[in-house]
């Protein structure tokens, strides 16, 4: 991550890192925007985000990710009028980290900024979905993600927010893609975390700022 990412404006990369397995242990800075940068999530008033009903849905289901995804840590997160920022950390134990299918390399390193800890006990063997009658449709979408990668996690999150919002009768759509950065150092992590926390305060200077329509 270059040093100029957080000089007032955050530069989003145009493409994902082709050399990286996004199921690897790491900290990831995620940005997801609404379609056409519409202010679906609410508004900033006096430097504080006031969530709309759709903003509440986006907030709630982000925090649900940890309940339905193995070996994930949720760190700093903010819902803004037309986008969300969050840091996700994948921290699989060494025995659970697979081989990169493209390179054949086995990744065993732990995510940065997490203290070393013994591997957790293996999760119980999952029941077939039809034998889990208490799962909500949203939980089933999270559980049905397959490989534990950033793409599957964010895809599940975007899907459940969209479907829940529309089921309740709210007009809502995401931008088709999302943006991610692999956080490589603790100093980068601290800078990004501060950027996320301060985002509502400096909204009018933000890259994604626009007047409410």
The answer to whether the CB of 150 falls within 8 A of the CB of 28 is: yes
Whether residue 126 lies inside any domain: the answer is: no
Q: Which whole number is the average pLDDT over 27-37?
A: 96
Which residue range(s) make up the domain with 143?
21-112+135-203
Whether residue 57 lies inside any domain: the answer is: yes
Q: Which whole number is the average pLDDT over 44-59?
A: 97
pTM above 0.85, yes or no: no
Whether residue 90 lies inside any domain: the answer is: yes
The answer to whether the CB of 90 falls within 8 A of the CB of 25 is: yes
Instruction: Report the candidate in 201, 196, 204 with the shortest Cα–Cα distance to residue 31.
Output: 196
Instruction: Report the candidate in 206, 205, 184 with the shortest Cα–Cα distance to residue 84.
Output: 206
How many Å is the maximal CA-CA distance in the chain?
51
The whole-angstrom separation of Cα 128 and Cα 18 is 34
Whether residue 106 lies inside any domain: the answer is: yes
| Confidence at 104, pLDDT banded by 50, 70, 90 | very low
- Report the number of distinct structural domains present in the chain: 1
pLDDT score, position 8: 36
pLDDT > 90 in the chain, percent: 53
Whether residue 66 lies inside any domain: the answer is: yes
Whether residue 8 lies inside any domain: the answer is: no
Instruction: Report the candidate in 95, 59, 84, 72 with the shortest Cα–Cα distance to residue 175.
Output: 84
The answer to whether the CB of 174 falls within 8 A of the CB of 32 is: yes
- CATH of residue 167's domain is 3.30.70.1290
The answer to whether the CB of 211 falls within 8 A of the CB of 204 is: no
The answer to whether the CB of 87 falls within 8 A of the CB of 77 is: yes
Instruction: Report the candidate in 182, 27, 178 with the shortest Cα–Cα distance to residue 90.
Output: 27
Whether residue 177 lies inside any domain: the answer is: yes
Strand order in the sheet with 26-33: 72-79, 83-90, 26-33, 179-183
Cβ-Cβ contacts under 8 Å for 181 (sequence gap 6 or more): 1, 5, 13, 28, 29, 192
Tell me the pLDDT tens digit for each residue of 139-170: 454 444 446 889 999 999 999 999 999 999 99
For CA atoms 212, 86, 14, 173, give the dihedral sign: negative
pLDDT over 70 at 118, yes or no = no
The whole-angstrom separation of Cα 132 and Cα 155 is 22
Q: Which whole number is the average pLDDT over 171-178?
A: 94
Instruction: Report the candidate in 203, 208, 211, 209 with the shortest Cα–Cα distance to residue 44.
Output: 203
Whether residue 35 lies inside any domain: the answer is: yes
Q: Which whole number is the average pLDDT over 50-58?
A: 98
């Amino acid at each position: 991550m270059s040093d100029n990412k957080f000089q007032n404006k955050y530069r989003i990369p145009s493409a994902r890192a082709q050399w990286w397995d996004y199921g690897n242990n790491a900290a990831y800075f995620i940005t997801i925007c609404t379609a056409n940068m519409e202010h679906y999530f609410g508004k900033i008033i006096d430097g504080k985000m006031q969530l709309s009903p759709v903003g509440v849905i986006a907030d709630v289901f982000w925090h649900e990710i940890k309940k339905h995804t193995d070996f994930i840590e949720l760190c700093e997160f903010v819902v803004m009028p037309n986008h969300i920022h969050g840091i996700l950390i994948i921290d699989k134990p060494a025995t659970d980290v697979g081989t990169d299918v493209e390179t054949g390399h086995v990744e065993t390193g732990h995510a940065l900024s997490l203290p070393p800890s013994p591997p957790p006990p293996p999760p119980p063997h999952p029941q077939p979905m039809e034998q889990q009658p208490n799962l909500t449709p949203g939980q089933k979408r999270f559980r049905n993600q397959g490989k534990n990668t950033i793409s599957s996690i964010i895809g599940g999150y975007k899907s459940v927010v969209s479907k829940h919002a529309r089921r309740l009768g709210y007009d809502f759509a995401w931008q088709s893609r999302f943006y991610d950065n692999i956080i490589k150092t603790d100093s980068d992590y601290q800078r990004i975390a501060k950027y996320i926390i301060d985002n509502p305060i400096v909204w009018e200077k933000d890259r994604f700022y626009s007047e409410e329509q």
